Amino acid sequence: MSDLFTTITTPLGEDLEQPLGLFINNEWVKTDKTFETINPSTEKVICSIYQANESHVDLAVKAANDAFKSSEWSDLTGSERGEILYKMYEIIKRDASKIASIESIDNGKPYHNECLNGDLVESYEVFKYYAGWSDKKTGQLIGSQVLGKNKICYVEPIPLGAIGGIVPWNFPFMMMAWKIAPALATGCTVVMKSSEITPLSALWYGKIALEAGLPKGVLNIVSGFGKDVGSSMVNHPKLSKIAFTGSTATGQKIMESAGSSNLKKVTLECGGKSPFIVFDDCDLDLAVEWAFGGIFYNKGEVCTSTSRFFIQDSIYDKFIEKFKNLTNETAIVSEPFNEKCTIGPLVSKLQYDKVKSYVEIGQNEGAKLISGEFLDGPGYFCKPFIFIDCKDEMRIMKEEIFGPVVAITKFNNVEEVIERANDTTYGLAAALFSNNITKAHKVASKLEAGMVFINSNGDSDIHVPFGGSKMSGIGRELGSYALDLFTENKAVHINMTVPFK
């Protein structure tokens, strides 16, 4: 095996061939620098990855632009692109257990309960979904009955060209799928940057591209750091779009750079501090059940996590008792390959320290901690933290923690909770529980969020648009809506007064 690959032995006893190089123009590329990726369960180095710099971004962007112009890609029909996407679906589905193993080792998320039977399923289903869309975005004819007898116009959705994607560390493989699949379906070519914290599973897309028969340069993967690789992509004049998932602070910088470079289009899916509202006319056991997953899924390292609980005062104590008991029963903190594991280690020492600092902040601010603790290493493990009797002005109620920490408060009436739930700079998601469906719909319509869940929590679907409002981002991913963000509408006007000859 060359030094562009290494063998990783999983806790399940399987030896997997892990790519280490950049993937540019259908070739694995070495660089003169590497960086280490750490197993958060053991705090040991998994392997070293070749690190890209600005010159490698230039190579990848050139490959993507050349591929976009080449007949090998541009001459494909929508159906032919769909066939390639369907092959990618089949490959990912076949290798799901391998990719899930790599991701669990690199990220720390539970292998069985989340990675294999959650993230990977959604990842390959996204490719199947957009394979079906590849030949269905057909444009529009505006005829003479609208424009007058001497004119017609057709509007054609044109692919943007070479686009860049930047994904976070919490859902490395799945976030890649969300961006790659619709981009390829519309005829774009792609340069993707993984997170330097979890770079391993992203490189498997190079293997998938080769086996599926993607032409050279259509998909490129670069590994590296935001300050050089990410910045180079965002400022690159030959990329027509950046599709980004990550922090709000980074999203703001991307918008500034996109405007000052070439006015490239941007899609931003950023942070959140989502409310979870429980009315006293709900099915309380159902609400408690959804509450656990809504904040503690993937260790709370989820942008849509409902980390602010608003519980109606008449059921406040009862909800807290049930929620604490369920958390103590359900939160199985262990290494990710334990079949019973529901809470793996936090992704990194940096994130572990951040969560620790917020737990201290919450206690210092006067919130009452009724559950949770940090565990001795090795590994960045902790039991979920539950704060009650929180005040809206507390930092744990206002700031995104991105860990297994929930802040709970009470409310009295509908008008009050709507105002308090909306009192945030974020607007990604919200959940509410009530058996009064009229009230539920009215509250949902007034919540300032891109997604609202009634009597469920965070159960997004690939057929439905995903994204937020306010400081939570711009644009939508998933569903047919994502296709609009990788195309622009070209209007062709036809003058019908030209005489016959």
Q: What is the pLDDT of residues 240-292, one digit of tens each?
A: 999 999 999 999 999 999 989 999 999 999 999 999 999 999 999 999 999 99
**CA-CA distance, 224 to 188, in Å (whole number)?**
23
- Whether residue 1 is predicted with pLDDT greater than 70 in this model: the reply is no
Same structural domain, 57 and 182:
yes
Same structural domain, 415 and 307:
yes
Q: Would you say residue 497 lies in a domain? A: no
Q: Would you say residue 49 lies in a domain? A: yes
Q: Give yes or no for a contact between 287 and 424, defined as CB atoms under 8 angstroms apart.
A: no
Q: pLDDT digit string (tens) for 99-120?
A: 999 999 999 999 999 999 999 9
Q: pLDDT digit string (tens) for 56-65?
A: 999 999 999 9
What confidence score (pLDDT) does residue 5 get?
A: 98
Residue closest to 206 by CA, chosen among 105, 121, 115, 95: 95
Q: Give yes or no for a contact between 301 and 350, defined as CB atoms under 8 angstroms apart.
A: no
* In the chain, % of residues over pLDDT 70: 100
* DSSP type of residue 475: S
**CA-CA distance, 385 to 370, in Å (whole number)?**
8
> Computed from CA positions of residues 40, 375, 171, 208, in that sequence, does the dihedral angle turn out positive or negative?
positive
Instruction: Please state, in angstroms and as integers, the Cα–Cα distance from residue 462 to each residue in 191, 229, 251, 312, following that order.
Output: 22, 29, 23, 32
Same structural domain, 231 and 264:
yes
Q: Would you say residue 466 lies in a domain? A: no
Same structural domain, 28 and 165:
yes
Which residues carry out catalysis? 269
What confidence score (pLDDT) does residue 498 get?
A: 81
Same structural domain, 45 and 98:
yes
Angle between helical axes of 120-133 and 78-94 (0-180°, round to 10): 170
What confidence score (pLDDT) does residue 467 get?
A: 97
Q: Would you say residue 468 lies in a domain? A: no
Same structural domain, 315 and 253:
no
Same structural domain, 265 and 308:
no
Q: pLDDT digit string (tens) for 449-479?
A: 999 999 999 999 999 999 999 999 999 999 9
Q: Would you say residue 16 lies in a domain? A: yes
Q: Would you say residue 500 lies in a domain? A: no
Range of the domain at 79: 5-270+474-489
Domain with 261 in it: what CATH number?
A: 3.40.605.10
Q: Would you say residue 501 lies in a domain? A: no
**CA-CA distance, 306 to 122, in Å (whole number)?**
21
Angle between helical axes of 204-212 and 96-107 (0-180°, round to 10): 160
* Mean pLDDT, the chain, whole residue set: 97
Helix, coil or strand: residue 342 = coil
Domain with 282 in it: what CATH number?
A: 3.40.309.10
**CA-CA distance, 404 to 375, in Å (whole number)?**
13
Q: Would you say residue 450 lies in a domain? A: yes
Residue 2 pLDDT level (bands cut at 50, 70, 90): confident
Residue 356 pLDDT level (bands cut at 50, 70, 90): very high
Q: Based on the structure, what is the number of domains in the chain?
A: 2
Residue closest to 426 by CA, chosen among 467, 463, 390: 467
Same structural domain, 209 and 299:
no
Same structural domain, 266 and 402:
no
Same structural domain, 114 and 222:
yes
Same structural domain, 358 and 250:
no
- DSSP secondary structure string for all residues of 82-127: HHHHHHHHHHHHHTHHHHHHHHHHHH---IIIIIIIIIHHHHHHHH
- DSSP secondary structure string for all residues of 216-240: TTSEEEE---IIIIIHHHHT-TT--
